[in-house]
Structure 1
Amino acid sequence: MEENVSEINYIKDKLTITRVDFDRIHHEILLKEQWSRLNNIEIRSMPIKTSENLFQIHEALCKPIGFDVPKSQIDYIARVPSHNLRDKLIIVRYINRYTKEDFIATARAKKELYVKDLEFTGSRNRIFVNDRLTPHFKSLLTKVKALAKEKTTAMCG
């Protein structure tokens, strides 16, 4: 009987160690996934047009915000589905992070950007330019924003 208890305790200890290792590895994977998106932006709410040229859309986006990005600074550009949006996101990966950071800062300084600002017709959508976050970090950001809003409301009310 004592031998069984001792074996169970040994297995419990091994399980605890394995869980700690798993959590560490999982955390490392989450960080590496986000790191792989370090040069990426996402453009939301840009309607899909048949036979669209994403490089032209990106160029059209650069004009109203006043930030020129040569085509040579773009590693790739593509539409990707989003689970809760009708229109697919446009993902742009720049050659270096500084171009991405400057582009986002300039776009955010513009405050509001609409499809009509890009000289596209047929839509009144507001366009959003953001960092490309993994689902984990997007969820974390949403929680932080909700908590900040809750704290602000509590302080003001």
Structure 2
Amino acid sequence: MFTKSAYSEDLSASYTMLSKQLDALLTGETNTIANLSNASALLNQFYDQINWVGFYLIDEGELVLGPFQGLPACVRIPLSRGVCGKVASLEETIIVPDVHAFPGHIACDAATQSEIVLPILKDGQLLGVLDIDSPMINRFTEQDGKGLELFVQVLVKHL
């Protein structure tokens, strides 16, 4: 597990190892819900200083809550709202150092201070987003973004 102060030059290697662990964990399983559940659990164990990690999946033109670790969350998010909706619309990773400065942020958990959200794309089609929240301001870095993009690439092979 990594705290912001424990980041090292070897963070890239840690994300590579995490992605290999995910691949091994999901190999042979074809159930999407089971695979997303294990992926969220693995990320919850990997990170320190987070308060929510999980998935929102596209369903009839909006994001609907999928497997997650953390407090109960918003169930439906329009593609026009919040960080998750913006990521789904743009299909690119967004790191939000301070959620209170993000226009239209949806506060599912008042403790959340920063957030990283990544699109999940398979064969050019948006399946949903990976959302990770932290009770710390400025918790996520560009290195986290790149490492999580690798994680999502591996995940998509199993969806």
Superposition TM-score, scaled by structure 2 size:
0.25
Report the structure number with the largest CA radius of gyration: 1
Whichever structure has more strand as a proportion of its residues is 2
Whichever structure has more helix as a proportion of its residues is 1
Superposition TM-score, scaled by structure 1 size:
0.25
